[in-house]
């Protein structure tokens, strides 16, 4: 064994908005956002499905846009607005996206549901900003990065369409 050099890595301070509240934390520069969220912020609703950027279970909102938290370095959250599934609902109740997911029967095992919800939320924000109504095909496209084995996606697409386009 070669002599081990102890590499001292300095923690970095990040300040950001977490689910509506300003937070400051010291973190390792190599820390992935998903581990930061799950292990250090103890928010377990963000799910590790693959940790390879392929399944979308770990999706969170950064400044309103869905991002795979397993492909994102936690230090880059500095100065940004982070929303996890726990931040969508509050004491007053569920976010309309969550409500739509439940009502449309879009939740089976639920492991993909946090990520799906975040992707739908992100679409909802985007299309609202652009004052556009997405087509069904566009909604499907927007969900392509989120895998689900239980539902066959149909109910998820319906839930998304209903809440984004406010149709029944």
Partner 1 sequence: MSKKLNVIGTPIPKIDAGIRITGKAVYGQDVKLPGMLHGAILRAEYPCAEFTIDVSAARKLPGVIAVITADDIDCNNISYKKDHPILKKGEVNCIRDEIAAVAAESKEIAERAIKLIKVKYKEKKGIYDPFDALKPNAPLVNKYLKDSKFAKNISDIFFYEHGNLEEQKKKSAVIISKRFVLPRVTHCCMATSNITADYSSVTKRLTLYSSTQVPFLYQRDMAHALKMNASDIRVIQVVIGGGFGSKLDMYPFEPIAAILSIKTGKPVQIIFDREEEFIASPTRQNMVIDLIAGADKNGKFTFRDVTIVKDNGAFTSWGATTPFVMMQTFSSLYQMPACRFESKAVYTNNISAGSFRGYGNPQAAFAIESCIDLMADKLGMDKAEIRLLNANYAGEITGQGMHYDTCGHIEALKTVIEKSDLRNTNKETLRNTNKYESTNKEKETVNTDSYIRKNPYFVDNVDRYKRGVGIASMMHVGGGAKIYRSDGCGTTLKLDDYGHLTLITGSSEIGQGSETVLAMMASEELTIPMNKIKVINTDTDVKPWDVGVHASRTSFVAGNSVLGAVKKLKEKLNQKAAVLLKCTIENLIYENEEIKNSDGSNSVRIEKVVREMHFGGQNELCTVNHFYEPTSDFQDKQFKGNVSGTYAFAAQSAEVEVDTYTGNIKVLNIHVAQDVGKVLNPLNIMGQIEGGVLTGVGYGISEELIMENGRVLNPNFHNYKMLTASDVPDIHFYPIETNDSLGPYGAKGMAEAPLIPTAAAIANAVADAIGVRIYSLPITPEKVLKAIKEKTD
What is the binding site for ligand FES (CB under 6 A)?
48-51, 53-58, 68, 70, 107-113, 148-151
d(CA 47, CA 113): 9
Q: How far is the CB of 107 from ligand FES (least distance, A)?
A: 6
If contact means CB under 5 to 8 A according to the sort of partner, which of ligand FES, partner 1, none does residue 124 touch?
none
Say which residue the tokens 């509240």 belong to: 21
If contact means CB under 5 to 8 A according to the sort of partner, which of ligand FES, partner 1, none does residue 23 touch?
none
Q: Which CB, 15 or 136, lies closer to partner 1?
A: 136
d(CA 125, CA 103): 20
d(CA 88, CA 73): 22
If contact means CB under 5 to 8 A according to the sort of partner, which of partner 1, ligand FES, none does residue 94 touch?
partner 1
CA angle 140, 143, 146 (to 5 degrees): 145
3-state helix vs strand vs coil in the chain, percent to 5: 40, 15, 45
Q: How far is the CB of 51 from ligand FES (least distance, A)?
A: 5
Contact 59, 66 (CB under 8 A): yes
Q: Which CB, 14 or 106, lies closer to partner 1?
A: 106
How many helices, marked H, and strands, marked E, lie in the chain? 6, 5
Residues 3-42 that bind partner 1 (CB under 8 A): none
Q: How far is the CB of 164 from partner 1 (least distance, A)?
A: 14
Say which residue the tokens 């607005």 belong to: 81
| Interface residue list for partner 1 (CB under 8 A) | 43-52, 54-55, 57, 84-86, 88-89, 94, 98, 101-105, 107-114, 117, 137, 139-141, 143-157
């Amino acid at each position: 064994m070669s002599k081990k050099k102890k590499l001292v890595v300095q923690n970095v301070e990040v300040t950001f908005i977490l689910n509506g509240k300003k937070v400051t934390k010291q973190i390792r520069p190599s820390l992935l956002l998903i581990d930061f969220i799950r292990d250090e912020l103890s928010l377990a609703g963000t799910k590790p499905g693959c940790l390879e950027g392929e399944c979308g279970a770990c999706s969170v909102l950064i400044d309103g846009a869905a991002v795979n938290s397993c492909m994102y370095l936690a230090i880059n959250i500095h100065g940004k607005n982070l929303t996890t599934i726990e931040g969508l609902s509050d004491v007053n109740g569920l976010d309309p996206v969550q409500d739509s997911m439940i009502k449309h029967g879009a939740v089976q095992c639920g492991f993909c549901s946090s990520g799906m919800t975040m992707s739908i939320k992100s679409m909802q924000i985007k299309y609202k900003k652009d004052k556009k109504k997405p087509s069904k095909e566009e909604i499907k496209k927007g969900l392509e990065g989120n895998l689900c084995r239980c539902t066959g996606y149909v109910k998820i697409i319906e839930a998304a369409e209903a809440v984004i386009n406010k149709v029944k």
